[in-house]
């Protein structure tokens, strides 16, 4: 962690904006520390401008000079229209309206990826075996409102993050049961992406499809209720849903690891998996992760970690700004 006196670019505003919540913090001095973390529901505000102003006003905080946000959306230019929320805005117009000297907006999982090299052992829970290879690529994915995917690729001076939309790859069936599930979902969604089943929206979608296979009427359950019933063992359909969710996540994680050559490890964040605790450790995830035929031994050597750090994406947003000066 670096130390030093604040310069004219401080305080700096850091943000982690998802489809459900926006989390903000203020960085007062150089380094990896930040203060005044607050989470605001996105639905309570018409745009990020009002959410940021509410954050600053509620905490009576000084006006920031620089800011960086990770947001759950591809960043392809000045105009941002969120995939899983109604917010849309011009980055430059938002910068001007907030009176910022600099505003950097990046994908939320790019921000999370930037935090990976500085996570401590206490921030991670390893699932299964494997040993990280130093200076090898790192893979990142996580289910929340959507499914985020990123990674870190090494180069001589450090790592560079990936900014993509891997959550929207087509979900592949591992076996006949999953093929039947995806066939039912495809009745409503011609393209069944990984995010369509591996997200907060995806859990109820999986649940309804599995209920259809069992020829029972699906209850109107929230993702949290499905998870609670599955872990408690009080609902067989919920139990199969969560087990299928974890197995399919293993499929996607393994595909990502093979694509990136992520022998440095696969990291799992997002709002769902870190809350599953011991259930996830004993779930079908790791077994499925390794089930890649001729590449089973290769994947068995790659460690998989669940991120338990409280605010890693905010740390990543701070590191994105630090790279600018």
165-174 pLDDT tens trace: 999 999 999 9
- Whether 268 shows a pLDDT value over 50: the answer reads yes
Q: What is the CATH number of the domain that holds 255?
A: 3.40.367.20
Burial class (CB in 10 A: 0-12, 13-18, 19+), 160: middle
Residue with the larger pLDDT of the pair 4 and 203: 203
- Whether 253 shows a pLDDT value over 60: the answer reads yes
Q: Which stretch of DSSP H or E encloses residue 126?
A: strand 124-127
- Asked if residue 35 is part of any domain, the answer here is yes
Would you say how long the chain is, in residues?
A: 325
CB 224, CB 170: distance < 8 Å: no
- Which pLDDT belongs to residue 32? 80
- Which pLDDT belongs to residue 138? 97
- Which pLDDT belongs to residue 2? 43
Q: Please report, rounded to a whole number, the percentage of residues in the chain having pLDDT higher than 90.
A: 87
- What is the DSSP secondary structure assignment for residue 154, as one 8-state letter? E
Lowest mean pLDDT among 6-15, 108-117, 212-221: 6-15
- Asked if residue 38 is part of any domain, the answer here is yes
- Asked if residue 2 is part of any domain, the answer here is no
Q: Which stretch of DSSP H or E encloses residue 112?
A: helix 108-115
Q: What is the span of the domain harbouring residue 318?
A: 12-114+311-322
Same domain, 250 and 230: yes
Same domain, 177 and 108: no
Residue with the larger pLDDT of the pair 52 and 145: 52
d(CA 69, CA 108): 8
**What pairs with residue 269 in β-bridges?**
142
SS3 state of residue 71? strand
Q: Please report, rounded to a whole number, the percentage of residues in the chain having pLDDT higher than 70.
A: 98
154-164 pLDDT tens trace: 999 889 999 88
- Which pLDDT belongs to residue 143? 95
Same domain, 167 and 287: yes
Please tell me the pTM assigned to this model: 0.91
Average pLDDT of every residue of the chain: 94
- Asked if residue 4 is part of any domain, the answer here is no
SS3 state of residue 260? helix
Please compute, for residue 87, the number of CA atoms within 13 A of its CA located in the half-sphere on the CB side. Answer: 28
Q: What is the CATH number of the domain that holds 45?
A: 3.30.420.40
Same domain, 213 and 232: yes
Contacts of residue 323, Cβ cutoff 8 Å, sequence gap at least 6: none
Same domain, 282 and 178: yes
- Which pLDDT belongs to residue 263? 98
Domain total of the chain: 2
| Residue 1 confidence class, pLDDT cut points 50, 70, 90 | very low
C-alpha torsion 304→309→313→316, nearest 10: -90
SS3 state of residue 173? coil
Same domain, 162 and 62: no
Contacts of residue 200, Cβ cutoff 8 Å, sequence gap at least 6: 20, 143, 144, 145, 146, 223, 271, 272
For 290-314, the DSSP string reads H--GGGHHHHHTS-EEEE--SSHHH
Same domain, 134 and 36: no
- Asked if residue 200 is part of any domain, the answer here is yes
Same domain, 75 and 168: no
- Which pLDDT belongs to residue 6? 55
């Amino acid at each position: 962690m670096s130390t030093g006196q604040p310069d004219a670019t401080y305080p700096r505003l850091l943000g982690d904006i998802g489809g459900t919540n926006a989390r903000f913090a203020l960085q007062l001095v150089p380094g990896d520390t930040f203060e005044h973390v607050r989470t605001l529901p996105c639905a309570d505000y018409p745009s990020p401008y009002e959410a940021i102003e509410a954050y600053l006003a509620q905490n009576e905080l000084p006006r920031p000079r620089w800011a960086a946000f990770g947001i759950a959306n591809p960043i392809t230019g000045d105009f941002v229209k969120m995939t899983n929320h109604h917010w849309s805005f011009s980055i430059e117009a938002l910068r001007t309206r907030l009176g910022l000297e600099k505003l950097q907006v990046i994908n939320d999982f790019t921000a999370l990826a930037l935090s990976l090299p500085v996570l401590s052992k206490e921030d991670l829970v390893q699932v299964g075996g494997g040993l990280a290879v130093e200076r090898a690529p790192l893979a990142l994915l996580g289910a929340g409102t959507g499914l985020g995917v990123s990674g870190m690729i090494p180069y001589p001076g450090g790592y560079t993050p990936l900014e993509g939309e891997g959550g929207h790859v087509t979900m592949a069936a591992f076996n006949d049961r999953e093929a039947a599930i995806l066939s039912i979902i495809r009745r409503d969604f011609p393209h069944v992406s990984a995010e369509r089943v591996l997200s907060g929206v995806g859990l109820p979608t999986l649940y309804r499809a599995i209920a259809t296979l069992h020829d029972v009427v699906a209850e109107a359950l929230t993702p949290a209720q499905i998870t609670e019933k599955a872990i408690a063992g009080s609902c067989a359909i919920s139990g199969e849903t969560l087990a299928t969710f974890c197995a399919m996540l293993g499929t996607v994680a393994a595909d990502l690891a093979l694509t990136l050559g992520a022998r440095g490890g696969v990291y799992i964040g997002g709002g769902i998996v870190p809350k599953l605790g011991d259930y996830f450790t004993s779930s079908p995830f790791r077994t499925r992760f390794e089930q890649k035929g001729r590449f089973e031994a290769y994947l068995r050597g790659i460690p998989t970690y669940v991120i338990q750090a409280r605010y890693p994406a905010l740390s990543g947003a701070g590191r994105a700004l630090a790279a600018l000066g």
